[in-house]
Each structure stands twice: as C-alpha cells, then as structure tokens.
C-alpha cells in the first residue's frame, strides 16, 4: 500500500447532485421537481393540515365547547391534609403562609378547603373558599373557618 494508491471504499462516497445546471447534466430543465404545480415553484411550503386538496380533518370535524373566561380555579386542600399538617408542625392556625411553606400552593393560588377526611384538632383555617361540609367539620371540631 502506498499513499498515492489510497482511495475510499467502494460505495462509501457519493457525488452531490448538481441540479439545474443545463440539459447536459441530465438534471436540468425541471431540476428533479416534476412538471408544473405548486411543488415545482420556489417559495412553496405546504400549509399545516393540508391534505392535497381534500377537506382537512380540522375542517371536517364539528366545533364544540368553549372556554369560560370568568372561571375561577381553586387549589383543593382536604381536611385530612390540614390535619396531618397541624400534627406535623404543631399548628393551631393554618393560613396561606403555612400552606405556602409546606409546598402545597404558590403565591398566586386561590385555595378552597374541601371536606374529605376528618378533623380532630381545633383549628383556625384561612382560605379563599370552603365547601359546606368542610366548614361544618371545622366548626364542629371547635375551630373557625375564615374566608379571605
């Protein structure tokens, strides 16, 4: 083997197609784009959802539903969660700050207390909303439910 005899393995290299360089190249004229039509033109880009002229799926299916812009979303916190939090941190008052420190909510969250679970300790609870069962359970345990 000598340096001047070195060459790549057969089939490992290919020459680039030089498109649109006259009829002698065999790739002139239509430049491998076929004849006429949008796909042969410069600047063509297929629109999202285009199905070759067939009515696209997003237009064949009916519209449905709506988004209520006045909807208020609350983060649900159950009584069982409040009970475990008060036992773990030995709290008598649970407000937004305590829930924030425990990692249940962030600063922009609205909180609604729900009545799942049972409350054994007397707690003062502050939240944006309460379900009827949660409010009843808190007052039954001797605590108070304060709406913010």
Looking at the whole model, is its pTM more than 0.85? no
Q: SS3 sequence, the chain?
A: CCHHHCCCCCCCCCCCCCCCCCHHHCCCCCCCCCCCCHHHCCCCCCCCCCECCECCHHHHCCCCCCCCCCCCCCEEEEHHHHHHHHHHHCCCEECHHHHHHHCCCCCCCCEEEECCCCCCCCCEEEECEECHHHHHHHHHCCCEEEEC
Per-residue pLDDT, 28: 92
The verdict on domain 75-147 having CATH code 3.40.50.300 is: no
Domain boundaries along the sequence of the chain:
75-147
Higher pLDDT, 1 or 83: 83
Instruction: Give the model confidence (pLDDT) of 66-120 as tens digits.
Output: 999 999 999 999 999 999 999 999 999 999 999 999 999 999 999 999 999 999 9
pLDDT at 124 > cutoff 90? yes
Instruction: Give the model confidence (pLDDT) of 12-45 as tens digits.
Output: 999 999 999 999 999 999 999 999 988 899 999 9
Per-residue pLDDT, 15: 92
Instruction: Give the model confidence (pLDDT) of 40-75 as tens digits.
Output: 999 999 899 999 889 999 999 999 999 999 999 999
């Amino acid at each position: 083997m000598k340096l001047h005899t070195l060459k790549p393995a057969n089939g490992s290299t290919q020459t680039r197609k030089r498109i649109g360089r006259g009829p002698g190249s065999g790739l002139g004229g239509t430049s491998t784009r076929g004849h006429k039509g949008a796909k042969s033109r410069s600047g063509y880009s297929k629109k999202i959802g285009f199905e070759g002229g067939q009515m696209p799926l997003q237009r064949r299916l009916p519209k449905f539903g709506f988004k209520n812009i006045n909807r208020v979303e609350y983060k649900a916190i159950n009584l069982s969660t409040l009970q475990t939090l008060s036992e773990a941190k030995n709290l008598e008052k649970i407000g937004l700050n305590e829930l924030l420190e425990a990692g249940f909510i962030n600063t922009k969250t609205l909180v609604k207390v729900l009545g799942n679970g049972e409350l054994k300790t007397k707690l003062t609870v502050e939240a944006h909303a309460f379900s009827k069962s949660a409010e009843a359970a808190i007052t039954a345990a001797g605590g108070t439910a304060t709406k913010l």
